[in-house]
Structures are given as C-alpha cells and as structure tokens.
Chain A
Amino acid sequence: MVQALEPLIYEISSAGRVGVNLPVCDVPESPLPTDLLRDSLALPEVSEMQAVRHFVRLSQLNHAIDTGFYPLGSCTMKYNPKINEDVARLAGFAHLHPHTDPAGAQGALAMMHQLQEWLADVSGFAGVSLVPAAGAQGELAGILMIRNYHLDRGDTQRTKILVPNSAHGTNPATVTMAGLDVIELPSDAEGNVDLNALKEACSGDKAQFIAGMMITVPSTLGLFEAHILDVVKTVHDAGGLMYMDGANMNALMGIVKPGQLGFDVMHYNLHKTFSTPHGGGGPGCGAVGVAERLMDFRPGPVVEITEKADGDNAPLYGLVTPSKTIGQLKAFFGNFGMHIRAYAYIRAYGGDGLYDVSRHAVLNANYVRAKLMDTYTIPYPRYCGHEFVLEGHWEDAPTIHALDISKRLMDYGIHPPTNYFPLIVPEALLIEPTETETKQTLDDFIEIMKKIAKEAKTTPELLHDAPHVTPVSRVDEVRAAKELVLCCAPLLKTVE
C-alpha cells in the first residue's frame, strides 16, 4: 500500500460501527415506498473518537493564520478575532430560519441594516447590498448592474469593459460571464494604467461602446493609481461607469473613499478587509457598494427601514427588492454568518480604528519592502499600499525561480507569498503582511528572506528540493491532472 500521512476516512471504516447516537422514533412508523429506496450507501463507518482523531490530525497538516505568518498577497490574511466566531454561533443567529417572517427576525435585520450603512460610509457610497457570497460574485453583481444601467436607458451598444493587464483573473472572467467583452489596457512604467492607451480606447467613435472599466485600487502591484481622477473622468466622459475591485480595501479605510473618487460600484471582501475567516477557501462575502445612480439595480433583497421609529417604538426593518434589480444572486440574503463577524469586527475598531487598520497595514508593507530592497529586485520605486511585489530571481542564481523561494519559505514555517501574480512582473512574489503582525514577526521574515537569497546563490539545490520539513515534499501536479483520481472509488465499493 502507498505510504500516507493520514489514512482516508474510508480506510479506517469497519462495517457496523457508528459515530453518533440518534433517538428512537417517537411516532408510529409508516410504510416505506420500497420501490423508491436505495440498496446501498457507500459512506464510511467510524466511531466518534476515530473521527475526532482523524480530523484533528488532518488539521495539523495545515498552515494557517493561527499557526504562523501568512503573507499571501491580495488575500489579506489578518488575524480572525475569536469573539466573532462566538457571536456568529449565538442560538438566535445560528438557528434562525431564512423564511422567518421579518417581524420575527428584527435582530438579524437591524444588524444587517447597520452593517450596510457602515460599509457604505467607509467607502463613500449611497448604498450597499450584502448578498454576494464572494468577491467573484460581487464582481458579477457589479458588472451586471453596469450592463443593466445602460440597457435601462436604451443605450444598448455599450458592451465593452476596460480591464488593465494587472487585473486579477476573475475580472475578465466576470466580464465574459456577464455577456460583455473585455478590452485589455497596458500598464505604464510606473505600474499605473497607461493613461494614453485608456484615452485612445475611449476616444471618438469608440466611446459609444464603452460600458465601463474595472480597476483594482491599490492595484494588484500594491500601488495606488497615481492618475485615478483622470482615469475616472476619462471613462465617465465616454459614458462608461467605473467598477472598483475592492480586494485591496485594507489599504484604503480612512485614506480615501472610492465613492468620493467617482466610482459607481465596488465590491468589498468581508473575508479580507473585515476579518471574516477564509475557511480553507470560503465562505466569504463580496458585498457591493453603489453610487446613487445604481441604487435601484442592486442585487436583492437588501434591508431597509419599512416603518420609521416612532416614540418608544424601534423602527421596523424589512427585506426589499430594489426596483430594477439585476435579480437574485443566491438563495436568501447573502452569507449572514459573515455579516455578523464583519459587524463585530467593525464594532471592535470603530471609525478611527479602521483608519488605524489601514495605516498599519501600509506601514508594515512599506517596512518589509524597505528592508528587502537591497536583496531583491523591487520594481516601481515608490511607496506601496498594503502589499508589494518583488522579483524572485537573480542573474547570479539563474536556476532559481520564485516558486523555489516560496517552497523554501515553508521550511522556515512561513506561508509563501502569492506566486506568479500579477502576470506583468517576472517571477512575481506578492507580499502582504497585514496590520496584525508584530515588528518581530516582520523582522524574522526579513532575515529569512535574506538568508534564502544567500542560499539561492551558494546552495541552490536547497531551494530546488524545498520544502524539506513539511508533511509532504513537492507534489506531482502533472500526475494529478493526468490520472484524475478525484474520489476513492475502489474504497467506496468496499463499504457498499
């Protein structure tokens, strides 16, 4: 048998074992519709303790924020406060059925309404919808709103969305999903959108086809767009709307409000900026904020005050579908559990505290950047936002790639930065420390990065063969894609 770190749950299964005690049936049994029933169900049979040990041991194979530094660029891996987990599990939230009459869900609706208001204020928007389940769904919501805004005005030929070449891959995919076309824009030498190329794309007869532009601020290079007001004006003058990808909002709270810069719509990542946990890949929340002219297009339902407060009576909150809504993006009202956590997080900081969050996120990134500047090539000589990109290669270490540096970092107990993104920087390593890391942690990281740079030149095989101390060594991705073993089918047969 193949060597394994931890057996599969199916490999520790024994026929007849149970992991849970269920009550006896307290009503007379009814006849079962025998011709509709299944003969077998290939689920494992383990005891409760077997299951606990299995999943605890699996958990120990993970690197996580709670176990160590996680400077994964564009993901904002900040500390996830424990109180947020507790409040999300309060019975009145956890056991609240989504089809409860709004009169019986006033606590939930009041909280969501307040969160909508606060998120709108942080970014300077007229209103918010909390519905989108993730950043990518927020993007889809935003682009559909832009599309439908034009259609609603009878402006049917606006089908082009401008997207800079530094954009996250979801941006162009979103445009395609919404049935629109991408026009890719180059970046200039300073890492900004090439303003001339933008003006050219919006000039003369081309303007009438521009539906809008998607842009990330600060950009995926961690840089604040120097000509942002010009960019916004150029697109608006062409009749297009401005979408901001808010993935990097952790650099902006109290620094600038995108709505005040002229953006028409933006998605927030509550699982980045507002500390809701990433959960090993979700759930998240990609709430969207909009300017006045898109209010009626928001994905519904949103929470509104349906009866104003009156004397001693609290206001009555209700779920409302905006009049020209793009429609429903998922069942119910969004990832409510994430709304609770984000609310609690905002409460823990207050307005001034959120400003402090962004200040320190930017301080930490610039500190690491300044200290690594002599060792690594860092493109774009200016201060960064909450993250920065460096090049993971040297002329005198020709066999070393960014991936090797990443894998070697694991040996030092650090999660690698984002690799090979953004695409426009060769051998990119995108580093985002976040504000919750101490100076000591950053100093350790800086020392390790310098040490790895030395190793790259003196003992490159140490990097090529890395990681050495992780639960598994480098895995064979080609084999996985070729053989496509996606479930333990033979084992399923054994437990049937």
Chain B
Amino acid sequence: MSYIPHTEAERQQMLAEIGVTTIEDLFEAVPASHRFPKINIPPALSEMEILAEMQAYAEANEHAGDFALFRGAGAYYHFTPSVVNHMLLRGEFYTAYTPYQPEVSQGTLQVIYEYQSMICALTGLDAANASHYDGATALAEAVTMSMEVTRHKRKKVILSPTVNPQYRAVVRTYHQGGDYKFVGDKGQATMQDLVDMLDENTAMLAISYPNFFGQIDDLKQLAEKVHNMGALLVMVVNPIALGMFKSPGELGADIVVGEGQPLGIPLSYGGPYLGFFATRMEYVRKIAGRVVGETRDKEGRRAFVMTLRPREQDIRRDKATSNICTNQGLMALAACIYMALMGKTGMRKVAELCYHKAHYLADQIDKINGYKVNRDRPFFNEFVVKCPVSVEKINQALIEQGIIGGYSLEKEYPQLKDHALFCVTEMNSKVEMDALVKILGEVK
C-alpha cells in the first residue's frame, strides 16, 4: 500500500489532458545524463511490519517508562495529563500549517495567543512570541535582540558559566559570523565577577534561574546593576520552577527565555522541544519569529492574526536579523493545554512536589558516607553531589538495578570531578529514591 491514490485509468486520463504519454515525459528539463537514478532503499513495508520494526527500535532503549530516572540537566520527565495528547492528536491542529490565512486558522491563532498570555503570566513580562525551536536557540535569538535594542553599538555579551553549557555552545554557533565578544563563562566566575565585567560595551548579561546546578542565585541587586550600565538582563528559566519562585519580571529581567519541554512535552530523545521567549513591551518590535495579536473581523468580532510581519524576511529579505519563519506550533499547543489544566494551583503544586522530593533525596544522600550535597544556595529540583567514586561507576551500578543516575558534570566543568547533578520530579516515588540511596551506599 502507499498513500498515492491514482488508478491506472486516472493516470492515463491525466496524461492525455497534459498531452504526454508517460509521466517521465514531464522531466525534459532535467539533464538526461543525470535523470532517473536508482534509489537504494529497500522495498516498501506494510503498516504492521513498520510498527514491529519501530517497536523493536523503541524497546532497545533504556527509557523512563521502564527505568527510574534521576537525570535532568536540560530535559525533564514530568507527568503529562492525558488531555494534552488527545488534543495534540486532533488532525485539525497537527495537520495545519502556519496560520497565514487567519479566516481558516482561528484555532491555531487563538491557541498561540493564549499560550503567549500564559508565558507572560509565568515570566512576569508583558510580551511573548509564538516560540522558538528550543531554549538554546531562544537564547541565541535573545542575543540578536539585545544587539538590536542597543543599536549595535555594544558588542559584549556576558554569559554566566552556570547557563546550560549546550545553550552557550548554540549561542556561539549562531553568532560566529558576527563581531560579538562572549565573555564570562570560561572559568568559575561568581555572580559578583560577572557584575564586574559589565561596562559600556556590554549589550546583555545572561544568567540561569535556577542555574544549571539547580540553585537559585541571589538576584536582588542584579537587574539594577545591569541596567545602570545600560545593558539588558536575560534570564534562562525552568518553567516548572516558576510555579513557585518569584517571576523574572519581578526580578527585573528584560528578556526571559527557556525550555518549555517540561510543560507537557515528552523527552523524545531531545526534540522536538519548545523555546519560549518573553520581553518587555518596549522591545517587542525587535522580537524575532511569529507573534499573534488580537484584532477584529469585518463584522467587529474578535479575531486573531499574526502581526508585526513587516520586519520579517519576506519583506526586508537581506535586512532581516533572523531567518526564523516558523515556530514550534504544536509544542506551544501542548504547553498551552498543560498550563490550562494545571492552572495556578496545579503549577504551584507540581513545583512544590519537585522541591520537596528533591530535598528529601538530597537529605538522604547527605547521610551516606562519602557523599556531600552542595548547599551553598537554595535549590529547586536539581542538586550537585560530590561522590566518593566516579559518577560513571555509580551509574553503572544503578543501571543494573533499573535506575538511571545523575548527570556527570566533569566533562563540562573539569573542576567538578566525581560530581553528579541529580534531578527529582513528581514522577520519582519515595520507593525509587530509597532504592537509589541504598545502591549509592553500596557502590565501592
């Protein structure tokens, strides 16, 4: 079977209407020397054979459905209410494209508008876009926007070393063709060190909240210091943490970006995810990507439409500062439904469950001889543990018992040899945590 519906009779009728005898006749413009190469892919499979093959691939993986997972570091295993998947599977949503034609796309458009509103609520800022590919690319776009806001007169970008290492790598990839200077993240700079780097050439300072080690840094004076230098404060946030911690808007952030995956999107081996992006209304005209706004139709009814389009590539072409032309529409839908179902109390409750469970595990690990939890700062649902043996060795012992252990920090932070970053969410039961602690105590 294939998804091509043509019968032989229809093909012949169509060819006759066109005025050719075979389909191959339609390719006269393709150089004859290169026409009709063989594709070396095995013959078609039936649907049931495809399903069996994919099941075999899927079952060969160690996944959170079968294993107790204590790893986060940028991707998080949270509970997703059934409603989310049911809505995502509606063909009216997932088989539509970018809502270019608002009259037949009000569903997608209103969803994005509601999503933007919820992101504003979560971040405490007053404008959000329809999303980026992921948290890392959203940060790269924040750099572009900071340059625009400071009118390309400032070239320095300060990155905290506790921003997710992958995000910092992506930012550098995106901007390798520019003349910007990225500083701050190559050593072990403290918050004070970062503040000391601020000068009149600084466009922005990016910090993470919570930081990559799960900690909540002291940010009380930070925004004021950044703003005094005329720079922008960019915060990379975990949306679940914002269920309980002060909003970035309250802390003075100018741009807030983050990974929306924890909001009802599966781990799916790293993608597709959701980069959310919010800023202050005064900077909204510099925002990249899609933005949906409220308007009226001819009868005066409320309607929604993509707006701020004239700054896009389709008009300005080589003057555009970003080439992004889609968003992560379906992932934004997932996040929108997730936040609607959780609501204000559910979001708080999920955050607190993560917090309490993570602190329980940290307390238990601290009691094991040779292990030490870093408690320099308050933490949310991830914490750093100094281990008595290598993290690899511990994780090997854990995986044999059906547990995926903490994330080894040594590769990206050489000073943190034998340090693991543990993650706990509402999905981790006390039974799992106690089992983990027992094995940790036994590893030699």
Contact = CB atoms under 8 A, between A and B. Distances in A.
B339 interface: yes
A182 B318 contact: yes
Contacts of B89: 85
B87 A281 contact: no
Interface string A336-379: 11101001101111111111110110111011001100000000
A245 to B, nearest CB: 12
Contacts of A362: 23, 26-27
Interface in B1-43: 1-6, 10-11, 13-15, 17-20, 23-24, 26-31, 34-43
Interface string A409-428: 01000011011010000000
Interface string A276-294: 0111111110000000000
B416 interface: no
B430 A348 contact: no
A395 interface: no
B401 interface: no
B355 A92 contact: no
A492 B331 CA distance: 22
Contacts of A371: 17
Interface string B395-438: 10001000010010000000000000000001001100100000
A333 B170 CA distance: 12
Interface in A386-409: 406-407
Given A261-B34, A284-B326, A19 B43 contact: no
Contacts of B328: 279, 281-283
A327 B87 contact: no
Interface stretch (A5-13, A198-206, A449-457): A5-13
Contacts of A280: 93-94, 96-99, 105, 108, 111, 329-330, 333
Given A80-B95, A104-B399, A107-B59, A144 B176 contact: yes
Interface string B319-362: 11111111111110100010111111111111011011101100
Contacts, number: 704
A244 interface: no
Contacts of B341: 19-20, 46, 48, 51
Interface residues of B, number: 205
Interface in B72-103: 73-75, 77, 79, 81, 83, 85-87, 89-103
Given A92-B61, A370-B17, A473 B107 contact: no
A358 B429 CA distance: 51
B269 A333 contact: yes
B222 interface: no
A48 B346 CA distance: 12
B266 A62 contact: no
A91 B65 contact: yes
A257 B34 contact: yes
Contact of B71 (A99, A334, A436): A99
A36 B216 contact: yes
B116 A487 contact: yes
Interface stretch (B120-128, B149-157, B188-196, B198-206): B120-128
Nearest to A105: B61
A36 B378 contact: yes
Interface in B54-76: 54-66, 69, 71, 73-75
10 contacts: A134-B324, A144-B176, A175-B318, A254-B39, A280-B96, A280-B98, A280-B111, A281-B326, A359-B24, A492-B121
Given A87-B54, A172-B318, 13 more contacts: A4-B301, A95-B64, A107-B60, A256-B30, A275-B3, A280-B99, A281-B290, A327-B172, A330-B170, A330-B271, A471-B104, A487-B120, A487-B126
